[in-house]
């Protein structure tokens, strides 16, 4: 780390893991060479004012449009509220709460400008989750959509009082009212490139969330990696999607990436498949970021030329099943750009542009990153061998004071917890989460592979496959939880039909021994499947 820091509050720097436990950070490409002092807001937002883009549209919502100049001025005014009214100092953590909206975006940039640390939370988080985050990151300031204050107030009573300003209410003390009394100019704090800019909490698919810390240079690094090498969007594009800004997939795809290139971001408070399709058609969106489950649902809802404006489709958050890729391509003629990222890595590190996509593969490593498959001894596995995915590059895992740091980072490499194989051409093929490999009857079985086979059946809307204990045989079996399409009969005949269908597509020993029909599957707010919840179901 550099010796210089603009942070007066040194909490985040003091609670970084020891440098010896960091991953190896590689900055071999020229685009990842950053000055010792930088504030990411200066490049992502401020430079557009000086470069003639001030009047270009920047942020859209269903009810308003802001230009780059308007976002710049509003972020400056909010920064003044943080510093002058609340007393926020560089390094203080500021919790941001609300659905995707222009005000949430402006608040994020204001935190960056003030040299503070943004902790953007999912709008559906409840008081216990917020309380954990407030205590974990020692947060004392918050900007909150007034419709989402209830759980935050409860959390703050237990975790420590927050100095909170709400927006969206129109009250005299609300953020918008305070902003009117503030200057539209603000001198950004000259933060260090390795000052912490944000804390992202993992989405909790495997239990207690971990707090990941990312620097100002990390924010710029993800803009210089996947978007430039794989996405290749332009300033004429209109970005939209479903992931919340509290999810780093959404923060990058819906705010950082479009603004970095001078494009436009469409922020939707609600983005169900139906509403996302409507927004794409109504606004003429050309780039969409969403989860595999949404693509599968939208493929069955598209009518006419509803998505004629789309030219780039990005999927991440969980593996993209081949049947979903095929259904979307058949309906739209567009190839979904799949990718794997992680909150610990900040964004996508393996993916391929449309012209290099191999359906079913996650893609090749994004330039600037390195990835390999290793065996249980940490040695590089030969092509075609299933092993643990290891990755390193200009970003990497730094947990906030968490013993799990040494589980994620080993020998300088980040281990996201995925089982993959790499072919001779450097394409990575997802097998399973490392803890989702099923050992049944002496075989190693990939749950996602069985799910992909089930999803190809015309009756299956969604499914999840996990290992389940067999109380009679005192062993484990493959069990599938299935959501059927409307009109399908639930019964033994359907179970037998699905089992035989799977056996016709993959090895019979991989077919689910048990199938349970459910109305829905447990998912995080970002759409990730929570298989650990299903594994807690009673034994068969």
Q: Contact 489/515 with Cβ under 8 angstroms?
A: no
Closest to 73 (Cα-Cα) out of 25, 112, 109 = 109
Q: Contact 203/318 with Cβ under 8 angstroms?
A: no
Model pLDDT, residue 441: 59
Q: Contact 482/498 with Cβ under 8 angstroms?
A: yes
Quick one: how far is CA 124 from the chain centroid? 15
* Per-residue model confidence as pLDDT tens digits over 404-432: 999 999 999 999 999 999 999 999 999 87
Model pLDDT, residue 61: 97
* Order of strands, sheet of 475-484, starting from the edge strand that comes earlier in the sequence: 460-470, 475-484, 514-517
Per the DSSP assignment, residues forming a β-bridge with 477 are: 468
The Cα 23–Cα 409 span in angstroms is 6
- Flag whether pLDDT at 315 surpasses 70: yes
* Per-residue model confidence as pLDDT tens digits over 369-398: 999 999 988 899 999 999 999 999 999 999
The Cα 371–Cα 364 span in angstroms is 9
The DSSP secondary structure of 7-76, one letter per residue, reads: -SS-HHHHTSPPGGGSPPB---SGGG---SB--HHIIIIIHHHHTT-TTSEEEE-SS-EEEHHHHHHHHH
Those residues with Cβ within 8 angstroms of residue 161's Cβ, 6 or more apart along the chain or in another chain:
140
54: tokens are 């001030």
- Phi, psi (5° rounding) for residue 225? -105, -100
Closest to 537 (Cα-Cα) out of 523, 518, 524 = 518
Cα R_g (the chain), whole angstroms: 23
Model pLDDT, residue 285: 98
Closest to 388 (Cα-Cα) out of 430, 420, 365, 361 = 420
* Per-residue model confidence as pLDDT tens digits over 83-140: 999 999 999 999 999 999 999 999 999 999 999 999 999 888 888 889 999 999 999 9
The residue with greater pLDDT, 204 or 479, is: 479
- Flag whether pLDDT at 73 surpasses 90: yes
Please state the pTM of the whole predicted model. Answer: 0.86
Least confident among 154-168, 169-183, 212-226, 442-456: 442-456
432: tokens are 């399973």
| Cβ neighbours around 221 below 10 Å, total | 24
Of all helices (H) and strands (E), which one includes residue 505? Answer: helix 492-505
The Cα 475–Cα 101 span in angstroms is 49
Please give the share of the chain, as a percent, with pLDDT higher than 70: 96
State the Cα angle at 473 between 469 and 475, rounded to 5°.
40
Model pLDDT, residue 205: 47
* pLDDT interval class at 203 (50, 70, 90): low
- Phi, psi (5° rounding) for residue 511? -65, 145
The Cα 250–Cα 155 span in angstroms is 25
- Flag whether pLDDT at 287 surpasses 70: yes
- Flag whether pLDDT at 526 surpasses 80: no
Model pLDDT, residue 400: 97
Least confident among 243-247, 285-289, 441-445: 441-445
- Flag whether pLDDT at 447 surpasses 60: yes
What does pLDDT average to over the chain?
Answer: 93
Candidates 3.30.300.30, 3.40.50.880, 3.60.20.40, 3.40.720.10; CATH matching 441-534 = 3.30.300.30
Pairing state of beta strands 238-241 and 514-517? unpaired
- 538 three-state secondary structure: coil
Model pLDDT, residue 443: 65
Q: At what angle do helices 492-505 and 447-455 cross, to 10 degrees?
A: 110
* pLDDT interval class at 18 (50, 70, 90): very high
Model pLDDT, residue 204: 53
* Per-residue model confidence as pLDDT tens digits over 264-284: 999 999 999 999 999 999 999
Q: What is the mean pLDDT of residues 149-171?
A: 91
* pLDDT interval class at 2 (50, 70, 90): confident
137: tokens are 């990151």
- Flag whether pLDDT at 444 surpasses 80: no
Q: Find the length of the chain.
A: 540
The Cα 371–Cα 264 span in angstroms is 32
Q: How far apart are the first and last CA of the chain?
A: 53
């Amino acid at each position: 780390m550099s010796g210089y820091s603009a942070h007066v509050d040194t909490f985040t720097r003091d609670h970084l893991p020891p440098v010896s436990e960091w991953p190896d950070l590689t900055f071999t490409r020229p685009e990842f060479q950053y000055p010792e002092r930088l504030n990411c807001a200066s490049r992502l937002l401020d430079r557009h004012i000086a470069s003639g883009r001030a009047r270009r549209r920047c942020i859209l919502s269903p009810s308003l449009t802001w230009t780059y100049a308007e976002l710049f001025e509003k972020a400056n005014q909010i920064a003044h509220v943080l510093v002058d009214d609340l007393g926020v100092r560089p390094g203080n953590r500021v919790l941001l709460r609300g659905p995707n909206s222009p005000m949430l975006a402006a608040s994020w940039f204001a935190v960056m400008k003030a040299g503070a640390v943004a902790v953007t939370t999912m709008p559906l988080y409840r008081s216990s989750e917020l309380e954990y985050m407030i205590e974990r990151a020692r947060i004392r300031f918050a900007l909150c959509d007034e419709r989402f204050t209830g759980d935050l107030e409860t959390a703050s009573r237990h975790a420590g009082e927050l100095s909170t300003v709400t927006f969206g209410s129109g009250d005299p003390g609300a953020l918008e009212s305070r902003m009117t009394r503030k200057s539209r100019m603000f001198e950004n704090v000259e933060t260090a490139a390795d000052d912490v800019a944000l804390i992202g909490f993992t989405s909790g698919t495997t239990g207690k969330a971990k707090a990941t810390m990312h620097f100002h240079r990390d924010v710029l690094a993800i803009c210089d990696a996947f978007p430039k090498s794989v996405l290749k969007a332009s300033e004429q594009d209109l970005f939209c999607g479903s992931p919340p800004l509290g999810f780093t997939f959404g923060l990058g795809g819906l705010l950082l990436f479009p603004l970095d290139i001078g494009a436009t971001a469409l922020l939707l408070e609600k983005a169900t498949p139906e509403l996302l399709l409507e927004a794409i058609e109504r606004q003429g969106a050309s780039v969409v970021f969403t989860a595999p489950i949404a693509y599968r649902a939208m493929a069955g809802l598209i009518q006419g030329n509803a998505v004629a404006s789309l030219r780039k489709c990005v999927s991440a958050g969980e593996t993209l099943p081949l049947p979903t890729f095929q259904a979307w391509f058949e309906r739209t003629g567009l190839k979904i750009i799949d990718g794997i990222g992680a909150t610990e890595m900040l964004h996508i590190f393996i993916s391929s542009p449309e012209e290099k996509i191999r359906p079913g593969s996650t893609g090749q490593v994004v330039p600037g990153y390195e990835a390999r498959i290793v065996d249980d001894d940490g040695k590089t596995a030969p092509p075609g061998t299933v092993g643990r995915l290891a990755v390193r590059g200009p970003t990497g895992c730094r947990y906030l004071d968490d013993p799990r740091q040494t589980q994620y980072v080993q020998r300088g490499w980040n281990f996201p917890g995925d089982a993959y194989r790499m072919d001779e051409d450097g394409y990575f093929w997802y097998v399973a989460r490392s803890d989702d490999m099923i050992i049944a009857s002496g075989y190693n079985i990939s749950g996602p592979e069985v799910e992909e086979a089930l999803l190809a059946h015309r009756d299956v809307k969604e499914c999840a496959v996990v290992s389940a204990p067999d109380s009679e045989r005192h062993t484990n079996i493959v069990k599938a939880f299935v959501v059927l399409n409307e009109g399908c009969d639930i019964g033994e005949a359907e179970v037998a039909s699905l089992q035989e269908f799977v056996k016709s597509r993959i090895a019979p020993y991989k077919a689910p021994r048990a199938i349970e029909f459910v109305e829905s599957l447990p998912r995080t707010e970002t759409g990730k499947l929570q298989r650990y919840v299903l594994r807690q179901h009673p034994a068969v």
